[in-house]
Chain A
Amino acid sequence: MNDPLAKIKPWFQGVSLFWPVLGLGLLLIFNAVFSPSFFHLEIRDGHLYGTLVDILNQGSKVMLLAIGMTLVIATGGVDLSVGSLMAIAGAVAAMLVMKISFAMAVAISLGLATVAGTCNGLLIGYAGIQPIIATLILMVAGRGLAMLLTGGQIITFEHPSFVFLGNGHFLGLPFTVTIVAIVLCFTLVATRKTAIGLFLESVGDNEKAARYCGINAALVKVMVYAYSGLCAGIAGLIATSNIKAADSSRVGEFMELDAIFAVVVGGTPLTGGRFSLVGSVIGALLIQTLTITMYNLGVAPAVSPVPKAIVIVAVCLMQSARFRAQILGWFGKRRIAA
């Protein structure tokens, strides 16, 4: 009862953050040794600049996707369509922002992404289609839809509010950091201060038992895919704002995979059940740090996935209790042999 951590523990329950934090820590130490400018921060015009800030700023999209993806994966599913939903939201917002009010443009584009996510959820929850297939449909078709909307053109815009979204500063930090913080806090409260988190974990851990308890598993699934769609929409607006243009063919490409990596690295098992939103955000930061480390070391972009893959595999292996036992077993045997 006197445990000082007792109050914050529920936020991290069930999932060990030890390995992702260790991975991120090691990566930062590596950078501290090999690229001295990595930790250099400076203040220009009252804004903070530096590599660490870049990681937070550029990692914001994957962090947002990973938050939505965490909930999806907690129910035992996966959402492959988030990259394409980013493209749709970006395209719609870019087209509308010059014609109607900024608030309306944002609302419509995010609403559309949420509806698209809901469709995923309906296919999975009520039609019983496997998540990987259901979301694959939208992954492929969604990008086509975005291209159709923009007529295959890159749509540019000049709109100070929209540009601020992905490039502005707030409290000395990029505004994207604020967006991520708000979404993360909202999601934490929505899952842990209600029973939604418990329902997600129950459905992911043993769907049949959850249904027998009277939980509407199908509705739970619709909700998580809708939310994942919303998160993807926000990420899409940021990505579009970043380059001041909607490039439907490139926005969010392969980003669904980064988001899945982030969730898994963050300790939420792909089989569903216990989840950790904080873990996923740390996982997303780890992946972004890795990407930037690669740039700093001058690794050609074409080969950078290889070292990235190695680090991700290493973190995942370390999380596996069986793998750790195996390693310990080897060492144990060797000691006996010696």
Chain B
Amino acid sequence: MSIPVLRAQNISKAFQGVKALDGVELTLRTGEIHALMGENGAGKSTLIKVLTGVYTPDSGGIEFDGVAIAPGSTREAEAAGISTVYQEVNLIPTLSIADNILLGRQPRRFGCLRKGEMKRRAEAALARLGLKLDVGQPLNSCSMAVQQMVAIARALDIQAKVLILDEPTSSLDEREVEFLFGIMRKLRKDGMAILFVTHFLDQVYAVSDRITVLRNGKFVGDYQAAELPRLKLIGAMLGRNFEEMEHLREETAHAAPSRKVFLETHKLGRRGIINPIDLNIAAGEVVGLAGLLGSGRTETAKMLFGIDLPDQGEIQIEGEKVSIKSARQAVQHGLAFCSEDRKSEGLIPHLSVRENLILAMQASRGPLRLLPRKEQDALAAHYIRALNIKTPNAEAQISNLSGGNQQKVMLARWLAMQPKLIILDEPTRGIDVGAKAEIEKLVHSLKSQGMAVLFISSDMEEIVRTCQRVVVLRDRKKVGELSGEDIQVNRIMNVIAHHDE
């Protein structure tokens, strides 16, 4: 069979004491497509950055063709024969295809570009992919798929033996994905080793020969794709062993018969973002949105909150059809949205804890009716105590707090509004266990106060612990709904893994 071309052993890398990679292994053989799987924070991107010389590992070594290498930069990794196509295509849209393929290594004579030679080499690189394109046309006149191909052609021009594709399919439609797979299979036949990173399960099984799974920075296993059932793969990614799965769920508080639906959607969707979805959430109910990364959880939340506007379907609040066209309007309807991306969508980094905390409330009061300073201080003091926020004082700059405490301030910002529905997108991501438990407890108390909660989390057990109903998404589609006794980790995973609708 095929021989190993790249072998990374015992790779560890820590950032400020936090282990991003801990003894990870990866072996790529010539002529194989190797999927790298893992949930968020599993260490996939860190591993890729180690392989491509962006990071230097703290320990462990990389062997390439049996020779130890230690790339210090992307350029060195490319020179060694490891080429990467990143998720966000790193090309220059206004330049021609040929320019993009050869950028930084254009053939030159006396300092001048050799246009003819460039055209020839660019065409040759594309020919290896079975493509014939006018290499003189600007890149931005091509579709996303072709741009992706150009990025791959660029990677191939450097005589790479290993090609890393980081989420190449996330912006492609089905037909384009098929086309890309065709090219990947062709390259495999030519003896290239391809490392394929994706979140889409179907795609992994469509092309991969082997699968390496990482979880929390640790190596879980290296499997033959054909011998690894979907359920096992999901289990490996999420860290659950099915045989010994215990019944975790506390006795379910069955939804009260006098259930009063607060928010309802009918066929709400947006082309290319999320397929039409039906949801309903009642007051005093915690509804979970489960699914793997990229399954459309955040997209659904943003659609409800007026950030990504739907192009079909409708939203009803307390039985009345409403149109929510901005976050402002969503807030006016009693919605609150605590984003998963705290840094870019939540924090106002240079302002104080107090200012961050009162911001949503102040925004709803308008600019002129400043919340009296006494009330601001009282609110800040109340939530700092109630949520156990660890900060020197309310005037501390929020960026100096730890992640978990920042998250609590974000929660407090919305709780102060006393919303009717709060959307929590990954409220416990990247925070320590203690804070995590406190936030779960808080969700329970919000529920008993009659608030509707839409709870999004990658942590299945957390979903099982907190939710009365769970809507399961896969590949931007709603694929199932569980309630009551059915809410169990293995049931949810079954729905995610299940092949057909």
Contact = CB atoms under 8 A, between A and B. Distances in A.
- Does A associate with B in a complex? yes
A210 B350 CA distance: 13
A47 interface: no
A195 B344 contact: no
Contact of B351 (A205, A215, A216): A205
Given A206-B344, A206-B349, A273-B350, A214 B364 contact: yes
B370 interface: yes
B244 interface: no
Contact of B350 (A14, A193, A208, A213): A14
A201 B367 contact: no
A67 B331 CA distance: 33
A199 B344 contact: no
Contact of B349 (A198, A205, A214): A205
Contacts of A201: 348, 350-351, 355
B365 A213 contact: no
A244 interface: no
Interface in B331-382: 331-332, 337, 339, 344-351, 355, 359-360, 362-371
A273 B347 CA distance: 12
Nearest to A199: B367
Contacts of A40: none
A201 B347 CA distance: 12
A209 interface: yes
Contacts of A216: 328
Interface in A209-229: 209-216, 220
Interface string A311-336: 00000000000000000000000000
A195 B362 contact: yes
B348 A205 contact: yes
Contacts of A202: 348, 351, 355, 359
B199 interface: no
A196 interface: yes
A274 interface: yes
B329 to A, nearest CB: 9
B401 interface: no
Contacts of B371: 195
A214 B331 contact: yes
A211 to B, nearest CB: 6
Given A202-B359, A209-B345, A213-B327, A195 B351 contact: no
Interface of A: 14, 193-196, 198-199, 201-202, 205-206, 208-216, 220, 273-274
Interface of B: 305, 307, 326-328, 330-332, 337, 339, 344-351, 355, 359-360, 362-371, 413
Given A201-B350, A210-B363, 12 more contacts: A193-B370, A194-B369, A195-B362, A199-B363, A201-B351, A209-B346, A212-B345, A213-B331, A213-B360, A215-B328, A273-B351, A274-B351
